[in-house]
């Protein structure tokens, strides 16, 4: 049987975790293809190889469906960053992160970084309704109109209403506040046994995004790429004397020995 060809080995791995329907696939689409398109619930998992400067970064999109839950640990093995995704309009999606997904990250690297990402911010935050990619702007606005009635209502008033409601940060429809996310971030650090002081601060690691409008999406990925750079450098160094090569060599050495028959 011919050897199945090995693919270009990525230098580092990022994993998107989170409940089904929170928009993991959409986030990855938005970042890699710069558009928001129809998705089907992910089966198993998929990954994307991002060329970032001289480095290859693999970004794994996992399936949120319960059925595939068991595969999560494997996907997280060796990850340098895990993006824990929830839906800002759905409290349960945040709760699931803690209950179901956090334990999957046990297999990640010991210095793995964790980002908490509240997606679908366009549903709750008028700022996130402004399309970010100018070239896609018109198209997206059209999408906005077609797809969801609640967005239509919101996008009808492009500037945030200066009501006390929005000032207090609780806009109708919003179920998860950034404070909730930051609190969870603190608990994640505790779960990992990490000192809050020596870890990346919550403000830096909690994001709100919209795959639909592109709000904050590039920021999220690029911030993470910057943060995993040390891991990349370590990996590329290790690869120069990688364990696989060692195995080859030691096997070669064994071949030289007289057989034991």
Ligand X SMILES: Nc1nc2c(ncn2[C@@H]2O[C@H](COP(=O)(O)OP(=O)(O)OP(=O)(O)O)[C@@H](O)[C@H]2O)c(=O)[nH]1
| Sites of contact with other proteins (CB under 8 A) | 1-7, 9, 43-47, 60, 65, 67-68, 70-71, 73-75, 77-78, 107, 244, 247, 251, 254-257, 259-261
Nearest Cα to Cα of residue 213 among 119, 86, 88: 119
120 touches which of other proteins, ligand X, Mg ion, none (CB within 5 to 8 A by kind)? ligand X
Binding partner at 26 among other proteins, ligand X, Mg ion, none, C-beta below 5 to 8 Å by kind: ligand X
State the DSSP string of 217-244.
HHHHHHHHHHHHHHHHHHHHHHHHT-HH
**What is the Cα–Cα distance from 244 to 252, expressed in whole angstroms?**
12
Strand order in the sheet with 55-62: 45-52, 55-62, 12-18, 81-87, 113-119, 206-208
- C-alpha to C-alpha distance for 169 and 126, rounded to whole angstroms: 11
Using CA atoms in the order 105, 107, 110, 116, what is the torsion angle rounded to 10 degrees? -10
Instruction: Please tell me whether residue 97 binds ligand X under the rule CB under 6 A.
Output: no
Q: How far is residue 81's CA from residue 125's CA, in Å, rounded to a whole number?
A: 26
Residues 117-136 touching ligand X, rule: CB under 6 A, are 119-120, 122-123
If the CB atoms of residues 26 and 109 are measured against ligand X, the closer one turns out to be: 26
Query: With respect to other proteins, which residue has the nearer C-beta, 92 or 244?
Result: 244
| Residue 3, contacted partner among Mg ion, ligand X, other proteins, none, CB below 5-8 A by kind | other proteins
Q: Does 216 bind Mg ion (CB under 5 A)?
A: no
Which of 15, 22, 25, 118 is in the footprint of Mg ion by CB under 5 A?
25
Smallest distance, ligand X to C-beta of residue 187, A: 22
Rounded Cα distance, 209 and 64, in Å: 18
Q: Which x/- pattern over 133-162 shows residues binding ligand X (rule: CB under 6 A)?
A: ---------------x--------------
Cβ 74 vs Cβ 61: under 8 Å: no
Residue range at the interface with ligand X (CB under 6 A); choices 36-44, 92-100, 172-180, 242-250: 36-44
Cα dihedral 148→152→158→159 (10° resolution): -90
Please identify, using beta-carbon distances, which residue of 10 and 118 lies nearer to ligand X: 118
Under the rule (CB under 6 A), what is the footprint of ligand X?
18, 20-26, 39, 41-42, 63-65, 119-120, 122-123, 148, 210-212
């Amino acid at each position: 049987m011919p050897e199945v060809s090995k693919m270009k080995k990525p230098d580092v791995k990022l994993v998107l975790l989170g409940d089904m329907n929170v928009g993991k696939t959409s986030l990855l689409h938005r970042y890699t293809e710069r558009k928001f398109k129809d998705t089907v619930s992910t089966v198993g998992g998929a990954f994307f190889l991002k060329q970032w400067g001289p480095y290859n970064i693999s970004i794994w999109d996992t399936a949120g469906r319960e059925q595939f839950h068991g595969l999560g640990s494997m996907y997280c093995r060796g990850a340098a960053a895990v993006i824990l995704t929830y839906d800002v309009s759905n409290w349960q999606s945040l709760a699931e992160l803690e209950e179901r997904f956090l334990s999957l990250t046990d297999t990640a690297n010991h210095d793995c970084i964790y980002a908490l990402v509240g997606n679908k911010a366009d549903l709750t935050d008028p700022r996130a309704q402004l399309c970010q990619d100018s070239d896609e702007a018109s198209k997206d606005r059209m999408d906005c109109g077609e797809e969801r009635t609640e967005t239509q209502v919101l996008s009808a008033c492009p500037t945030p209403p200066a009501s006390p409601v929005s000032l207090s940060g609780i806009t109708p429809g919003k179920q998860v506040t950034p404070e909730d996310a930051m609190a969870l971030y603190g608990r994640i650090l505790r779960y990992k046994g990490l000192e809050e002081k020596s870890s990346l601060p919550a403000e830096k690691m909690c994001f709100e995004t919209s795959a639909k409008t592109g709000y904050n999406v590039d920021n999220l990925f690029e911030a993470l790429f910057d943060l995993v750079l040390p891991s990349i450098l370590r990996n590329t160094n290790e690869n120069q004397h990688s364990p696989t090569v060692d195995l080859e060599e030691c096997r070669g050495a064994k071949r030289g020995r007289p057989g034991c028959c």
